Amino acid sequence: MQNHPTEGHGAYFDAMHDLDEATDRALAAVRAGEDAGRITAAQAAAERVGLLESHLAECRRLRRELLGGS
């Protein structure tokens, strides 16, 4: 058996990958809205902050639930 640091953590890495992709899509949507003039630069910045805060909170939740960390 190989002692690999990712053994037993596949669900966590899969969930993080999915979360990263969802966050990337959401940030792209904000960028598109700003580029199209539907939202101002300040609104886009506020949206980005909210998305990144949510992303970090979800990272913490996944770590707690899937890795048992704090």
Query: Per the domain annotation, does 57 fall within a domain?
Result: yes
Predicted confidence at residue 69, as pLDDT, reads: 67
> How many domains are there within the chain?
1
**What tens-digit pLDDT sequence spans the chain (70 residues)?**
344 455 568 999 999 999 999 999 999 999 999 999 999 999 999 999 999 999 999 999 999 999 986 6
Predicted confidence at residue 5, as pLDDT, reads: 53
Query: Per the domain annotation, does 60 fall within a domain?
Result: yes
Predicted confidence at residue 68, as pLDDT, reads: 87
Predicted confidence at residue 23, as pLDDT, reads: 98
| pTM of the full structure | 0.82
Residues spanned by the domain of 58: 40-70
The amino acid present at 34, given as its one-letter code, is E
Query: Per the domain annotation, does 55 fall within a domain?
Result: yes
Which of 17, 33, 25, 27 has the alpha carbon at shortest distance from 53? 27
